Chains A and B, each alone.
Chain A
Amino acid sequence: MLRKISLKRALTYLSVGCAALAVSLLSPAHAQVKELKVGYMKNPIQEASVDIMEKWAKKNGVKLVKIPMAYSIFQEKVTATLTSGNDQFDVIWHNDDWGQLWIKWLARMDDVKGMDRVSKHPLDAFYDEDGKVSAVPMAHTVGTFFYRTDLVKPEEVPTTWAELVSVSQRLQKEGKVKWGYVGGMAMNNTWFSLWWTMWGNKCDIFMPMWERDNKKLNAAGWKPALTEPCTKEYVEFWWDALYTHKISPEAMTSYTRDEANAIFMAGDAAFTLVDSTHFGDFNSPKKSRIAGKVAMAPQPMGPRGEKPFAWNEIWGWGIPKGVPADRQKLAKEMLGAMLTDMEGQKAMWDATGGPPPSMDAWDILSKDDKVFADLKNAVFDQNIGTHSAYYFPAWPAVHKAYSDVMIGALKGKREDIPKAMAAGMDAVHKAANGGQ
C-alpha cells in the first residue's frame, strides 16, 4: 500500500517536472531569465528614460522590472537598502543632492559606453576621491527664468534685479498682472528665490565663494558667507520685494514650487524661476492658463553680477555595488545603450522637456529645435560658475539651517537683517560640521 502511493507520487512528480521542463525549453521565456530591476521616482522624464532602456531590454531578451517609488521616501528607502546590502535594485535614480552620500555604495561608471560624450561639470557631485564617477546622466535639471511674452517684449525682459522690480511694478500698476515675481522659497525650494539671486550676485553659502572642492572648504573651516555684504544685498532685495516694492506676495516665504507654479500658471505673475522641465507644463493648454505665452531668458543679475548666472545639474542612474558582477555588467550595457540612443533621447526631450544627457543629442537638437536653442541660450551658454549645491553629506542639514536663518530674517524687520545673519553664522557652520 505504502509503496503504491509513493510510486504514484513519484510518477506524478516526474511527469509534472517533465512537463515543466518541456514548457520552459519550448517557450521563448526561457531566454528571459535575465532580469534587471530599476528603482526610480514616478515622473515623466524618468519614465521616458526607463522607456529608452526598455527598448534595449526587449531587443536583448532582458526583463525590466520597473519599481516606481514615491519621492517622499525615495532617499530614505534607497539609502537604507544600500547600506544594508539588500538586493532590491540593479539600477537606481541618482541625484546630485545625494551624490556623495551614496558614493561608498555605488559602482563606478567610467566604463559605460557614451560617458565620453556627456557634459563633465554636472558630474562633479558623483566623483570619488580617485576621480571615478558613480553615475550615468539621465537628464539635466537646470533652473530657468521664465517670463510672460504677452506682458513683456523680449527686449524688455529684466536683466538686473532693479529692472525686475521696475518692470514688475509697471505691470502691476497698469493692472496687467497681480504680482511681478513668484517663486518657491520654503525649505527645499530655496533655489527658486534666495539662491538664484545669491549666485547671481556672486555670493555663496560658504567662503571662499563658488568653491566646491571639499578639501579647500574644509581648510577654510566651512565659514558661512552670511555676514558678507553680498548676502545682505540679496536678502534685502527679497525683503523689499515682499514688503517695500510688493512685487511678490508676502506669504511667498512659505511657498513651495507647487504654490508658485499655480500662481504663475493662473496668469497672476509675470516672472518665475523654476526647473526648465516645467516649460512643457507652462505651455500646455491643459495645465496652464498662459499656454503659448511663456518664454525663457537668462537670469537677472545682482549688482555684483557681470554675466547672467546659471546652474547645470543632472539626474542620473546608479548601480549598487552589491549587485552581482554579471548583472552589473548587464546594467551598464543597458545604461550605455540609453546614453547612445539619440533617437530615444530626442523623443524624451520632445515628450517631457528633459534636456538629454548626451552632447551628441544636444548638437542635433540645437540645430533644429527652437525651444532647445532658447534653453541653451538661457542656461547652458551662461555663466555656469559653480554648482547649485555643496557635495558633502551634511548638505541637507546646511540647506535646512540656511533656510531657517533666511526665512527668519525675512519675517523680521529690515534693519534687523544684519543681526539675523550674524546670529545665523553659528547655526549654518554647525550644520556643516555634523551638529558639532
Chain B
Amino acid sequence: MSVATDTGYTPPKRGSFLDALAPGGKRAFFLLSVLGVLLIFAFPVFWLVLTSMRPAWGVYYVHRGLEFTLGNYLEVLEQEVVVHAFFNSFVIATLSTFFSLTVTVTSGYMLSRFTGKLANAWFGTIYIFRTIPYITWVLPLYFVTQWWGIFDTYLGLLLPHIAVHICFFSWLMKGFFDGIDPSMESAALIDGCTRWGAFLRVALPSALPGIAALSILCWLWTWNEFLFALILTSHNTPMITVVMAQFVSELGTEWNLMSATAVMAMVPALIVAIFGQKYVVRGLKV
C-alpha cells in the first residue's frame, strides 16, 4: 500500500466544510444527516404500515382522517391459504439461502484461488448467463420444471431459486476471497493441511462477514421474490408473494389487504435481518 511506504510525508490538511464547524456543530451536522437518512429510508415503509391500518375507504387518502383499524389484517388472516403461504415462503427462503451459499462459496473460492482455463471458462459462463434477462428464461423454466415433474412442488421452486443466485454469488464470493491474503492457506498447506482443510479452516472463517451479508440479502430476496413464485407455483405451494399478487385483479387493486399482507410479510424479514446483521457487524477477523 502506497500510504505505508510514504513515510515522512504529511499531507496538507484539507479545509473542508466539516472542519469549519465547531466540534459541537460537527456533531450536530452528523446527527442531522443521520436523521435525514433515517427519514428517507423509513418513510415509505412507515407510510405502508400506516396505509395497512386504514379502513378500506381511506387507504389512498392516508393523510385524510385519523381512523385506524386492524380490520385489514383480520380479513387477510381469514384466508386459510395465508398461514400456509407464510410457512412455504419461510421454508423456501431459508433452504434456498442455505443451499445457494453452500454451492457458491466453493465456486467463488475456486474462482479466487485458481487461474487457468477452467477458472476462466467458469467465470465467463457465469458472467454471460448473468446478463440474460429473466424474460428469456422464465417461461422455458415453466416448461422445464413440468418436464421434470417438479412443477408446483417445493423442489420446483427451490432449485431455480438456487440457480438464479449462482452467477452473482459466485462472483461476489470471489471478491470476498480476493480480499483475503492467500498466504495463510499456503502456510496451512505446508503444515500438512489438505486443500479442503485449508479452505474450510482458514479461508472460510475470514470470509464470514461477507457470507453473512450475502445470506441476509439472499433470504430477503427470496422472501420477496414475485416472478418465479408466480410462474412456478400453482395451488399446491402457495407463496406469500403470490397471495399478495392476487389482490390485484382485472377490476383493480385491493390495496388495503395487499398492504396489510406486505406489512405482515415484513415481520419475519425484520427478524432475519436483525439476527443476520449481528454477524455482519461483529465480523470475524483472523
A/B touching: CB–CB < 8 A: yes
Q: Which positions 22-70 of chain A face chain B at CB distance < 8 Å? A: 41-43, 65-70
Closest B residue to A291 by CB, please name it. B57
Q: Which of B60, B142, B234, B250 has the most CB of A within 10 A?
A: B250
> Cβ of A72: which chain B residues have Cβ within 8 Å of it?
230, 245, 248
- The answer to whether the Cβ of A80 comes within 8 Å of any Cβ in the partner chain is yes
Q: Which positions 65-106 of chain B face chain A at CB distance < 8 Å? A: none
Bound CA–CA A287/B69 (angstroms): 13
Is there an interface contact between B55 and A71, defined as CB atoms closer than 8 Å?
no
- The answer to whether the Cβ of B146 comes within 8 Å of any Cβ in the partner chain is yes
> Cβ of A233: which chain B residues have Cβ within 8 Å of it?
none
Is there an interface contact between A88 and B246, defined as CB atoms closer than 8 Å?
no
Is there an interface contact between A261 and B252, defined as CB atoms closer than 8 Å?
yes
Is there an interface contact between B246 and A286, defined as CB atoms closer than 8 Å?
no
Closest A residue to B65 by CB, please name it. A289
Q: Which positions 175-224 of chain B face chain A at CB distance < 8 Å? A: none
> Cβ of A257: which chain B residues have Cβ within 8 Å of it?
251-252
Closest B residue to A76 by CB, please name it. B139
Count of A interface residues, CB-CB < 8 Å: 36
Q: Which positions 52-104 of chain A face chain B at CB distance < 8 Å? A: 65-73, 76-77, 80, 84, 86, 88, 95
**B250: contacting residue among A41, A73, A287, CB under 8 A:** A41
What DSSP secondary structure best describes chain A's contact surface? mixed
> Cβ of A374: which chain B residues have Cβ within 8 Å of it?
none
Bound CA–CA A70/B250 (angstroms): 9
**A73: contacting residue among B55, B60, B230, B247, CB under 8 A:** B230
Count of B interface residues, CB-CB < 8 Å: 26
Instruction: Decide yes or no: A275 and B245 within 8 Å by CB, A84-B143, A288-B57 being known contacts.
Output: no
Is there an interface contact between B55 and A286, defined as CB atoms closer than 8 Å?
yes
- The answer to whether the Cβ of A381 comes within 8 Å of any Cβ in the partner chain is no
Bound CA–CA A67/B227 (angstroms): 18
Instruction: Decide yes or no: A71 and B142 within 8 Å by CB, A66-B235, A266-B60 being known contacts.
Output: no
Bound CA–CA A373/B242 (angstroms): 38
Bound CA–CA A261/B253 (angstroms): 10
Is there an interface contact between A67 and B249, defined as CB atoms closer than 8 Å?
no
Bound CA–CA A294/B230 (angstroms): 37
Is there an interface contact between B253 and A43, defined as CB atoms closer than 8 Å?
no
**A70: contacting residue among B235, B246, B251, CB under 8 A:** B246
Bound CA–CA A256/B249 (angstroms): 12
> Cβ of A286: which chain B residues have Cβ within 8 Å of it?
55-57
> Cβ of B242: which chain A residues have Cβ within 8 Å of it?
70
> Cβ of A350: which chain B residues have Cβ within 8 Å of it?
none
> Cβ of B245: which chain A residues have Cβ within 8 Å of it?
70, 72-73
- The answer to whether the Cβ of A278 comes within 8 Å of any Cβ in the partner chain is yes
- The answer to whether the Cβ of B49 comes within 8 Å of any Cβ in the partner chain is no
What DSSP secondary structure best describes chain B's contact surface? mixed
Bound CA–CA A397/B129 (angstroms): 30
Is there an interface contact between A73 and B231, defined as CB atoms closer than 8 Å?
yes
Is there an interface contact between A80 and B57, defined as CB atoms closer than 8 Å?
no
> Cβ of B60: which chain A residues have Cβ within 8 Å of it?
259, 262-263, 266
Is there an interface contact between A71 and B249, defined as CB atoms closer than 8 Å?
yes
> Cβ of B148: which chain A residues have Cβ within 8 Å of it?
none
Q: Which positions 47-64 of chain B face chain A at CB distance < 8 Å? A: 55-57, 59-61, 64
- The answer to whether the Cβ of A111 comes within 8 Å of any Cβ in the partner chain is no
Q: Mark B139-164, 1 if CB is under 8 A from A, else 0.
A: 10011001000000000000000000
- The answer to whether the Cβ of A369 comes within 8 Å of any Cβ in the partner chain is no
Closest A residue to B142 by CB, please name it. A80
Q: Which of B61, B139, B249, B252 has the most CB of A within 10 A?
A: B252
Is there an interface contact between A88 and B234, defined as CB atoms closer than 8 Å?
yes
Instruction: Decide yes or no: A67 and B235 within 8 Å by CB, A80-B143, A258-B252, A278-B251 being known contacts.
Output: yes
- The answer to whether the Cβ of A144 comes within 8 Å of any Cβ in the partner chain is no
Bound CA–CA A95/B251 (angstroms): 13
> Cβ of A345: which chain B residues have Cβ within 8 Å of it?
none
Q: Which positions 262-304 of chain A face chain B at CB distance < 8 Å? A: 262-263, 265-266, 275, 277-278, 285-289
> Cβ of B123: which chain A residues have Cβ within 8 Å of it?
none
Is there an interface contact between A289 and B57, defined as CB atoms closer than 8 Å?
yes
Is there an interface contact between A71 and B250, defined as CB atoms closer than 8 Å?
yes
14 A-B residue pairs with CB within 8 Å? A41-B250, A42-B249, A65-B235, A66-B235, A68-B246, A70-B242, A70-B246, A72-B248, A73-B231, A257-B251, A262-B59, A266-B60, A266-B61, A286-B57
Excluding A42-B249, A266-B64, 10 further A-B contacts by CB distance (< 8 Å) are A42-B246, A69-B234, A69-B246, A73-B245, A259-B60, A261-B252, A266-B61, A277-B251, A286-B57, A287-B56
